[in-house]
Amino acid sequence: MTSECFICGDHRPNSLETHHVVPKRYGGSDKPENLVGLCASCHSAIEKLYDDSFYQRLGIEATENESADLGLDVEGTELKPTNTKDRDFHPQSPHVSTENWCLEMTFYQFISYSPDELISGHFPESEHLENQLTEDEEEVISFFKTHGGPLRYWIFPEKPRETPPVAIVLNEIDSEDLPEIASGGQRSIKTDEKLEITSEFQRYHCGYCHSVYTEEEKADLAAHLRVKHRIENPYGTDVQNNPDEYGLLDDNMFSR
């Protein structure tokens, strides 16, 4: 046999399959004149074309032999191990390795089950993981209780008025936490009902991307809303309900 496919001429000497022109189950022999080398695609097509029904239409009956029970040319389709030094020959690796399968199963478990269902007492690291999650949650809650984190606003394309353009957050810090307060600074000092001196800060948050601006950067916030979010009049017709108290959208804002 040659090193090329007998039908398509594909040159793959290491992957050619031996095909019996006359199958052995119909009396074919192993002589060289009855053997041809075919690639896998041509061999499969030939086997489908010249099946048992083809020979039955010709009036040829299969002989009783060891491969007659299978109804296939077992010897003609069997690949034998080949030792080769051909550098172009690369055996095909498994399609899905065990490691990839385990990673995929782990991923599907995390998206299919809640954390409480995944944490099990059968694993020694589960208790540590559960404690770590609890500590992280308590740390976040404590931070927002202490520093008064801003409310989170969501953007609803179908209901744009539910997203305020500007969120003003006031933080009050006890004077005991500020050992020295310079007079005439940026902090506004006031006395509350209990006659305790507190320092009040104002921060301006963009309601769309949560950018933070100080009281001295109100003009920058107005420009940010107009340029990045293209909001000329965020309050629309609700000017009476939402007055522009801080003059953020005033055209003369930049000339102040």
What is the tens place of the pLDDT at every residue in 116-162?
555 555 555 556 666 666 776 677 667 666 665 444 444 444 444 44
Dist CA 164 CA 242 (whole Å): 10
What's the token pair of residue 14? Answer: 């290491």
pLDDT attached to residue 32: 82
Is 83 part of a structural domain of the chain?
no
Share of the chain above pLDDT 90, in %: 0
CA 107 from centre of chain: 11
Is 228 part of a structural domain of the chain?
yes
Domain carrying residue 64: 17-77
Confidence of residue 7 (pLDDT cuts 50, 70, 90): confident
Mean pLDDT over each residue of the chain, to the nearest integer: 60
Dist CA 244 CA 256 (whole Å): 16
SS (H, E, C) the chain: CCCECCCCCCECCCCCEEEECCCHHHCCCCCHHHEEEECHHHHHHHHHHCCHHHHHHCCCCCCCCCCCCCCCCHHHHCCCCCCCCCCCCCCCCCCCCHHHHHHHHHHHHHHHCCHHHHCCCCCCHHHHHHHHHHHHHHHHHHHHHHHCCCCCCCCCCCCHHHCCCEEEEEEEEEHHHCCCCCCCCCCEEEECCCCCEEEEEEEEEECCCCCEEEHHHHHHHHHHHHHCCCCCCCCCCCCCCCCCCCCCCCHHHHHC
Boundary (domain end) residue, out of 60, 77, 94: 77
Strand pairing class (17-20; 212-214): unpaired
Dist CA 10 CA 115 (whole Å): 55
pTM over 0.95: no
Dist CA 71 CA 53 (whole Å): 11
Boundary (domain end) residue, out of 77, 108, 125: 77
Is 89 part of a structural domain of the chain?
no
Is 175 part of a structural domain of the chain?
yes
Boundary (domain end) residue, out of 31, 62, 77: 77
Is 134 part of a structural domain of the chain?
no
For range 20-30, the mean pLDDT: 77
Is 148 part of a structural domain of the chain?
no
Is 1 part of a structural domain of the chain?
no
Number of folded domains in the chain?
A: 2
Closest by CA position to 169, among listed 213, 123, 103, 133: 213
**Does residue 83 or residue 155 have the better pLDDT?**
83
CA distance between the termini of the chain: 94
Name the range with the highest mean pLDDT among 20-24, 67-71, 113-117: 20-24
pLDDT attached to residue 22: 78
Beta bridge partners of 214: 203
Share of the chain above pLDDT 70, in %: 31
pLDDT attached to residue 255: 45
Closest by CA position to 130, among listed 140, 122, 139, 120: 120
**Does residue 114 or residue 183 have the better pLDDT?**
114
Is 2 part of a structural domain of the chain?
no
Say whether pLDDT at 45 is over 60: yes
Tokens 């916030």 belong to which residue? Answer: 221
Beta bridge partners of 211: none
pLDDT attached to residue 178: 45
Q: Which residues contact 171 (CB under 8 A, 6 or more apart)?
A: 147, 148, 200, 201, 203
For range 184-193, the mean pLDDT: 41
Pick left, alpha or beta for residue 148 (phi over 0 → left; psi -120 to 50 → alpha; otherwise beta). Answer: left
